[in-house]
Structure 1
């Protein structure tokens, strides 16, 4: 049998990698991406159908495509005192996964081991449920427990004002309710390794990207417990070390010293970011890092007091901590420049 040419492999990988988000217009998307005709794209799609990688639904004008699930399994286990995350991974999850590249498998192992360990050590639940889905170009997991709920537990143990504040703290990294046994790095790094990562509990969710929330099952999440959803393309070139290096010092200390924080998480409801108290809430635990990148995506405006507290007062009192602002609009940039220009 003749091997497919490099260009054909590239086209088919593109289809597999994008079909989930473009089930109805994948033909047009691929045609535009590679400057090839629609019939040429359809031949590649038919080949993938014949190979059992994707399935088609509907007639010509209403046709949509989706990845065919190669694995669709779920199991429940008791959170007894002798359950261990590495054994759950090695004996129950890993054997389900087939043909996954080493770099992606390492990410899956890291993410699943960390999430299962969190359930065992922190959930205060009695049982957990794991769902595993693998398609031709993706793998996804759900880890569900019936415990107290992650945001409620963080709020309780760290004496925070409300559960939403736990989401902000979780996004920064190095957050743990048991510092003697845990570093608080698992969720932070896993959320940056996977293409989609969502933690959902009692109507609240944390995600470094607002994707995948509509895929979460009900599973009693409104009543308690926690659901973690993780997904990654099996075509991804990302590695564990690559993600670790993004948040590690450049001075051979190899410590988790950099973080990025979505500033929008500092808002509750429809409030604007105008006060010093809001800024101090955002700045909490920044002293644990050497570099902090503030992501102003979805933030339309900030007030003078909020900006001054971060970019003048905090920066003056903590000169060894580098704070940068990204994804800012013109108003936010002006306000930051204004407070920085004031005498220290």
Structure 2
């Protein structure tokens, strides 16, 4: 059996074995369009790799899904309700710890709803895979792409600046129907979160000091989001949903973190007042803003003055917290604050 056939089989064997726990080889032969002998070899390979578990006598084997599982589905977006694919096509086929299942359902429905309400596409493809260590979700649509949507709705041309706005939270093109919480909290549920759209990519890693960084783009049109949650994580949906409140106990969205490294590059430093105004945009919606200077070696006097003197004076209800500032950055901030 060709390796490509084995790879293809992993996308449908999880659902097939639940329908055919006995007579699985015959079902595989019909599904793969191959001989019964080849189907038996494929079943053996899938069992050896952990996609299937075998029990019962040799002449009447019984099969069930193994620790490795995957469901792949494609849906037309028109008229699609995000809760039904999860309940009908995905959740019954996986064996996840209860708190991971809650987080994955939240991520699944939020990302699918984004595709339905915002992508302006026609199709969405969803893949959910369970391994020995992780639950992995991929949601991709054929729409116009997230950064193109933000460019039109908010006049933000630079995808890195758009990602900075997304990282703040509360950004939505439909404020009557959405609060801008979805992508913000979904990214914080995951250990690994990758966003691809319009030839740009950004990555969020839970363990990394500077959470959002630019990645290698894999998508020119539409949007694709990949996330992975460790099965042994101690993180819970409740903890994440409460994490943006000041007291950590309520569901208020009162604090945010800005990864300022997003606005820098090999030839671009945080120098100007216009950059500072871009950082400060919409911060009046929060009570506390954590400014993360990871990877930023220096800032200009104009940038620092606009953000830490002018904005701080005009928006005194917003507490600015400085995080991971280098010696040079801290000195410049102290200088403008002293003036």
**Displacement of 1:164 after TM fit?**
3.4
CA 1:167–1:76: 2 relative to 1, 3 Å: same
Structure 2 CA distance for partners of 1:251 and 1:117, relative to 1, 3 Å: closer
Q: Is 1:114 aligned to 2:101, yes or no?
A: no
Shift of residue 170, structure 1, vs aligned partner: 0.7
Out of 297, 319, 330, which is 1:333 matched to? 330
Report the 3-state secondary structure (helix = DSSP H, G, I; strand = E; otherwise coil) of the residue aligned with 2:136.
strand
Summarize the alignment of residues 133-212 of structure 1 with structure 2, pairs less than 5 Å apart: 133-209=129-205
1:324 aligned partner: 321
Q: Which residue of 1 aligns with 2:231?
A: 234
Q: How does 1:1-344 map to 2 (within 5 A)?
A: 52=50, 70-81=68-79, 83-98=80-95, 100-209=96-205, 218=218, 221-222=219-220, 224-250=221-247, 254-267=251-264, 270-342=267-339
Matched residues in 2 for 1:311 and 1:238: separation? 34
Which region of structure 1 is more displaced relative to structure 2, 199-208 or 132-141? 199-208
Is contact 2:202–2:213 with CA below 8 Å preserved after alignment?
A: no
Distance in 2 separating the partners of 1:280 and 1:116: 33
Per-residue CA distance 1:84-127 (angstroms, 9 max, x = gap): 011111112212321x1111111101111100000000000000
C-alpha distance 321-212 of structure 1, shift in aligned 2 (>3 A): closer
- Partner SS state of residue 68, structure 2: strand
Q: What is the CA RMSD across the aligned residues, in angstroms?
A: 2.4
Pair 252,139 (structure 1): closer, same or farther in 2 beyond 3 Å:
closer
Per-residue Cα deviation, 1:202-254 (whole angstroms, up to 9, x for no partner) = 2212333358956x8x4xx22x1001001010000101121122211339874
Normalising by structure 1, we get a TM-score of 0.74
SS of the residue corresponding to residue 73 of structure 2 reads strand
Of stretches 130-139 and 158-167 in structure 1, the one that deviates more from structure 2 is 158-167
Q: Any unmatched runs of 5+ in structure 2?
A: 1-47, 52-65, 206-211
Quickly say closer, same or farther: Cα 1:156–1:327, change in 2 above 3 A: same
For 2:268, what is the secondary structure of its paired residue?
coil
Deviation of 1:270 (Å): 2.6
How far does residue 74 in structure 1 lie from its aligned partner after superposition?
1.4
Q: For 2:145 and 2:178, how far apart are their aligned partners in 1?
A: 18
Normalised by the length of structure 2, the TM-score is: 0.75
* CA shift for structure 1 position 51: 10
Q: Which position in structure 1 is the counterpart of 2:18?
A: none
In structure 2, the residue corresponding to 1:124 is in which secondary structure? coil
Residue-pair matches, total: 273
Partner of 1:207, secondary structure, is strand
Query: How far apart are 1:72 and its partner, in Å?
Result: 2.9
Aligned equivalents of 1:287, 1:169: Cα separation in 2: 13
